[in-house]
Every structure is written in C-alpha cells, then in structure tokens.
Amino acid sequence: MIRVGQESWSTEQGAHGPIVLATGLWLLSREWGRAAALARPGSWLAGTALLAVLLPLYIFARVTSIVEIEGAAMYAIVLTAAYLLWGAASLRVVWFPLVYLLFMFPPPDTLFAMLTQPLKIAISQWAVTILHAAGYPIAGSGVTIQIGQYDMLVAAACAGLNSMISLTALGLFYIYIRHSANWRYMLFLLACILPVAIVANLIRVLILLLVTYHFGEAAGQGFIHEAAGLTMFMTALLGIFLIDSLARPLRDRLAARGAAA
C-alpha cells in the first residue's frame, strides 16, 4: 500500500486513492455488524488454492516493481484471507465496499491507454467540429489539433480522462449512499456517469483551445490548464447531482415498481 500511495496517489490519475481508502473503510465499518452476524470460516481448500496462485504472483510483481499487479495481488490476498476467516456469506454483505476499494489501485497503463484512446480521438474530433462551425481556423488529425498558429496534442490529461476514474469512484460512492435500496435507479445513475464525464471533458478541451487561440500557448498551458481541469471535474460531479434531482419522478416510479414486485 505504501508503494501504491507513493507511485500512484501523487499523480492526477490516482489522486482519489486516499479518499477511496477512507470512504471505503467507513462503508465497511457501516456494514460490519450485518456481515459479522453471518461470519463462518470459508473453505480451506479453496482458500489455500487461491493463495497458492496469488502469493507467487505478488512476489513476482514485487520483484519486478510492477505496482499495478502488486497492488491487485495484495488486495486479492487480503480478500482471500477474509474469505478464510469469515466466509462467502459475510463477504457478500459487504460486496460494494470491497468492489469500491478497487479504485485505490491504478489501472495498468496499457489497459488505460487502450480504453481512453478512442475517447481522446472522439473528443478531439468533436471539439474541431464545434469550433470549425463557430468560424475558428481549426483542423485536426487524430489527437493533434491545429488552431490558428498553434498545435495542441490532446493527451489523457488534457482531455480530462484521468479524472474520469476519480469521477466514477466518487459517483459510485454517492449513488450507493443515496440509493442502495433501489438497484434499478442505481443502474440508471451509473449509466449517466460516463456521458456526463465525456461532456465535461469536451468542454474542458474547448476552453483550452479557445484560451490558447486568444491568449497564446503559455496561457493555455499555465494556470488556466489546471483550473479548467478542476472546474470541469466539479461540473461533472454537480451534473450527476443535478440528474439525480431531476430524475426524482423516475426514481419514485422504479421504487414503486420494486415494491409491487
């Protein structure tokens, strides 16, 4: 955990790690009474078989300094130990905190790049289309955008895609706390997280392009760059809250349907 904190939590991609750890432990303590009532030791055969696979994997990741695999293997070992001590029924009660705590660990860089590359290209193309329609001298190829005399490379950080993990984690926490009793509505709000994040990130890219065009590259890469990222993250989070507020009739209808079933 110390290595994960040192190498991941100090970056934009993993800055949410301490928040996830604190809130995840709070969720576990909140549900611990119900889980403890169902505690029965798990199967030693299944548990030791899992440990026989996970321990060598953890040692390999530790020796080779692959922090993503090391963190995931360590967490899997902790879950296996919890299964041996308290059993599957107990862990099922706290399934959400256990899944939520996975956001502490950084995703593998190759996987993250593979998943975000199509989004980076799409956001870049949408930004070019919007500003071209507004009359700006702009063109783009892939994630490279030319606006006026400036060239801009839309990286994961510029597109706000690093913050998407943080937004998903905090959105999950909010949805679970507010609506865990209504799983249908939970799924609806979960489906809204990605579109809200994409729209917020598109707005961020548009702001950076406009600032760069009107005030120069130094302005676009300076304080405005960081401020736009924070502003768009808060905007996306507030967007989820707004959707939750506006969708109250749907929530009531789904709750009534669930009660009737």
DSSP string, 72-103: HHHHHHHHHHHHHHHHHHHHHHTHHHHHHGGG
CB 36, CB 90: distance < 8 Å: yes
Closest C-alpha to 176, from 94, 76, 72: 94
The catalytic residues are 158, 204
Q: Which residues pair with 144 in a beta bridge?
A: 141, 153
CB 251, CB 187: distance < 8 Å: no
CA 244/CA 240 separation, integer angstroms: 6
CB 240, CB 196: distance < 8 Å: yes
Alpha helix ranges (H) inside the chain:
2-7, 17-37, 44-64, 67-93, 95-100, 109-133, 162-179, 183-215, 217-221, 223-246, 248-260
Sheet holding 144-147, edge to edge: 138-141, 144-147, 150-153
CA 134/CA 147 separation, integer angstroms: 13
φ and ψ at 13, to 5 degrees? -65, -30
CA 160/CA 234 separation, integer angstroms: 12
Q: Which two tokens stand for residue 115?
A: 């998943």
